[in-house]
Amino acid sequence: MNQKKVIVTGGMGYIGSHTTVALIEGGYKVIIIDDLSNSDLSTLDGIEKITGIRPEHYQIDLKNSVETLRTFQEHNEAIAVIHFAALKAVGESVNLPLQYYKNNLLSLINVMEAMKQMNISKLIFSSSCTVYGQAKELPVSESSPILKANSPYGNTKQVCEEILMDEAQTDTSIRSISLRYFNPIGAHPSAFIGELPLGVPNNLMPFITQTAAGIRQELKVFGSDYNTADGTAVRDYIHVMDLAQAHIAAMNKLIADTTDKKYDFYNVGTGNGYSVLEVIKSFEKMSGKQLNYLLTERRAGDIEAIYAATEKSSAELNWKPQYTLDNMTDTAWRWQQSLGKKA
């Protein structure tokens, strides 16, 4: 029996690698495209340790339309694409807007053009809750208004979704789903793969774990004067393996769906808002480590608070998160400890 083949762009990254594991365990054959600009080849070793399978990997830049098409031509029997590949740091995007627009928009356009030439009709797009901007009411649902993005990164996700919606109006359209992620943290329970930022982390959890491990001198908490219970920013943190399973659920829907609807979008979060200080307290409890952290000024591009309404993803994707906040911080710490052993 032939395995269903899925092309995963950015499959060596944090969410991409965990979704690759979930796909392989679900019986799919995965082809990874990743330029390794913010990932490491050693991630393939971790995927192989967990699944017993080493996916095929192409190190190409998706901004190059010729290389993109050539790679898709080699795998024209693929049934779907999951597109993760993108620059993703909110703060960095404020300083490097042109780089973010060029990378995130052009890579999606090239992937979609290659899909159409190869008659690959199903696409799952890695979107973000940043498309909502600073929501006026919480929790945000899929019917919440799309407000002005607070960062170039968030705006690239808004524009990419508009590209998908416009394409869905054409006769030869790609059937696609955007998954609007909230804040993924944690690592695979095996501690063979996890979040592996190159250089100084932009996300909260690896900065927490690296501070606990002594790699960073202190953790800066950006903003302590927000209108929240403890003054720090509130986010909907979701375990990366729950997020990976949401992609499997979305894939199942795309394969089974016989309706005329060619584009849809779903929140992928837990429905719970946790402050930065609550995450720190959970980490300290699960690790037994006291963190050296400093409350400092707000960071450009950050919003005050956001968390998801998840009724639509639960009902239509038949998906619900399983991991608690303590599970998330615990697996993140065990991943960091495994990195220390490797070093």
Residue 205: both structure tokens together: 């959890």
In whole angstroms, give the CA distance from residue 180 to residue 234. Answer: 17
Closest CA to 267 of 141, 96, 86: 141
Strand partners, 184: 238
Beta strand 5-9 with 80-83: parallel, antiparallel or unpaired? parallel
Among the options 153, 181, 226, 266, which is catalytic? Answer: 153
In whole angstroms, give the CA distance from residue 204 to residue 216. Answer: 13
Respond yes or no: is residue 132 known to be catalytic.
no
Can you tell me which residue has the tokens 């690296």?
210
Instruction: State whether the Cα torsion 289-295-296-299 is positive or negative.
Output: positive
**Which CA distances in Å does 39 have to 53, 111, 198, 258?**
19, 20, 7, 37
Closest CA to 236 of 181, 187, 199, 167: 181
Which residues form the catalytic set? 153
